[in-house]
């Protein structure tokens, strides 16, 4: 899956954490913020295939629209291994902000 961005800001997570007065680890990670000028199109209807034969639990991550800097492109859904059998995938989504639409990454919960 190729990631596409309109505008990206690389923010050291250690700085972001420090800015909020929280304890930070010694290893800095970066996060990419994706901002699109318009709302994405409605989601496509995907046919979810049967999960692959695997030794661990697999979860379907639905496809979503990605902004490539000038147009929307579809990133197809895929199966990924769950970190634990009780984990639940919480999908990413586009959130409207004052400066456009911001991509909020999906994550594992549970």
Q: Say what the pLDDT of residue 51 is.
A: 87
Q: Say what the pLDDT of residue 90 is.
A: 92
Q: Say what the pLDDT of residue 17 is.
A: 32
- Please report which helix (H) or strand (E) contains residue 14, including its range: helix 13-19
Rounded to an integer, what distance in angstroms lies between the CA atom of residue 20 and that of residue 13? 11
Which of 11, 73, 18, 9 is closest to 40 using CA atoms?
73
| Residue-level pLDDT, tens digit, the chain, 110 residues | 444 444 444 333 333 333 333 333 333 456 678 899 999 999 999 999 998 887 778 889 999 999 999 999 999 999 989 999 899 999 999 999 999 999 999 999 98
SS3 110: coil
Whether 49 contacts 76, CB under 8 Å: no
């Amino acid at each position: 899956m190729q990631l596409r961005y309109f505008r990206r800001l690389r923010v050291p997570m250690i700085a972001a954490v420090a800015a909020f007065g929280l304890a930070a680890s010694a290893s800095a990670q970066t996060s990419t913020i994706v901002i699109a000028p318009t709302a994405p199109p409605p989601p496509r209807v995907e046919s979810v295939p049967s999960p692959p034969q695997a030794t661990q639990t697999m979860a379907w991550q639905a496809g979503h629209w990605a902004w490539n800097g000038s147009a929307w492109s579809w990133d197809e859904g895929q199966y990924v291994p769950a970190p634990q059998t009780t984990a639940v995938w919480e999908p990413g989504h586009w959130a409207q902000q004052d400066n456009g639409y911001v991509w909020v990454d999906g994550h594992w919960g549970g």
